[in-house]
Amino acid sequence: MTRSELIARLASHYPKLTSQDVEVAVAEVFRSLEASLAKGNRIEIRGFGAFTLTYRAPHKARNPMTGETVAVVGKCVPHFKPGKELRERVMQSAIPQLGTWTT
């Protein structure tokens, strides 16, 4: 689902709101999530999952084109861990679509 699809779906579910109002609300939610992660905070949405920052330490890597060794700086990257309810819903709906699934 893309951002525009999300806005269209929300606008159809809430006909009293204009698509511009929904677009502003979605943008504000994403802005708030981004600002919270930028501060290093953990975001937990019950029944959906949690967003955290994971630190990746500096290390040496190899440029696949040239084979040259490159130093990669340490950085924080966003990490999403789905909640139990989301995992269960996805498994229930994905199995009929994917056929036989072995784990």
Number of domains in the chain: 2
36, 59: one domain? no
pLDDT digits (tens, 9 = 90+) for 26-41: 999 999 999 999 999 9
Rounded to whole angstroms, how far apart are CA atoms 53 and 33? 12
Instruction: Write down the number of H helices and E strands in the chain.
Output: 3, 5
Cα angle for residues 75, 34, 8 (degrees, 5° grid): 135
Here the CATH number for the domain that contains residue 91 is: 4.10.520.10
How many C-beta atoms surround the C-beta of residue 76 within 10 A?
13
pLDDT digits (tens, 9 = 90+) for 48-65: 999 999 999 999 999 999
| pTM (predicted TM-score) | 0.73
